[in-house]
Amino acid sequence: MSDLTIEEWHAQFIRQARWTRAVRNQLYRRVNLLRAERVLDVGCGTGVITEEMAARCKGQVIGVDVDAAMIAFAQDKPFDPSTGLRAGFAQDEGSQAECRVGDAHQLDFPDSHFDVVVCHFLLMWVSDPALAVREMARVTRPGGAVLACAEPDYGGRIDYPEELPLARWQAEALRREGADPFTGRKLPALFTQAGLSANVGVIPSLWDDEALRAEFEAEWALMERTLAGMVSADELGHYKQVDWQAIEDSQRLIFVPIFYAVGRTQDG
Ligand SMILES: C[S@@+](CC[C@H](N)C(=O)[O-])C[C@H]1O[C@@H](n2cnc3c(N)ncnc32)[C@H](O)[C@@H]1O
């Protein structure tokens, strides 16, 4: 992933978690998170979703991520009142959550160990998403649930004004970083090939005027970092101006389809 500090990644993960919050809440209900005794968050990053789930269920929630720096941050990060996310579980004695280093391709847990196994913006980043989903299914108990909460598909990104080349740029930049920008459309295949039943949907999110303004600088800062060396500073500056003008004129529209999948392991 691009060269941001862990603090910058954490801020980005909190922003991303806002985009998917409403659907995430519905998905948690669908998989009965409230009653789950053992929950796994694969590719947990700085623990934003891990901690949210720990606050929603009475069971134990474990987050794993391949990046030791993310895990170190997850274990230390302070409470963040602006997001409402309790984020200091390492020091919180009452908490049932913990984060540890681990690889999605080889989960260090026995078969059928968890009631619910979740990932959020993970599969596009792993080198073998089919293996990662198989591993998620393996560690889920019969009749349990595997949830891919959010996998974007930048091939379906819509921008207005149409001259903005952001869909193409973003897909190229993600490929350069080793991610698959078209993961969303592959969720049904990934789940069924892992032996899971699959209910797949797309998050119905249009970014409104207020969100566009609030996220403009942060989104462009990330874009400028990821596109460095690929697009000239002049070109970036030009399209940033086009983007801002469209927002000022209340004409801007961005839609990035973010897919989710709810899978069930076979009962008994
Ligand atoms: C976009 S971040 C999402 C983090 C977190 N799920 C969230 O939504 O806040 C993707 C995360 O996947 C992790 N990751 C990538 N490949 C992985 C792998 N093979 N096993 C475990 N984690 C992995 C990265 O280190 C990164 O923290």
Closest ligand 1 atom to residue 67 Cα is 25
By the 8 A CB rule, do 161 and 242 touch?
Answer: yes
Cα–Cα dist 260/265, whole Å:
17
**Percent of the chain beyond pLDDT 90?**
76
Cα–Cα dist 39/41, whole Å:
7
Domain annotation for the chain: domains and CATH numbers: 6-152+180-205+257-264 (3.40.50.150)
> What is residue 32's three-state secondary structure?
coil
Task: Give the mean pLDDT of 32-58.
Answer: 95
* Ligand 1 pocket: which of 2, 125, 174, 222 to mutate (most atoms within 8 A of CB): 125
Q: What is the pLDDT of residue 84?
A: 43
pLDDT single digits (tens) 94-133: 557 899 999 999 999 999 999 999 999 999 999 999 999 9
* Ligand 1 pocket: which of 122, 177, 180, 260 to mutate (most atoms within 8 A of CB): 122
Cα–Cα dist 59/38, whole Å:
6
Supply 192's token pair: 């069924």
What band does 251 get if pLDDT is binned at 50, 70 and 90? very high
114 CA from centroid of ligand 1 (Å)? 19
Q: What is the pLDDT of residue 83?
A: 47
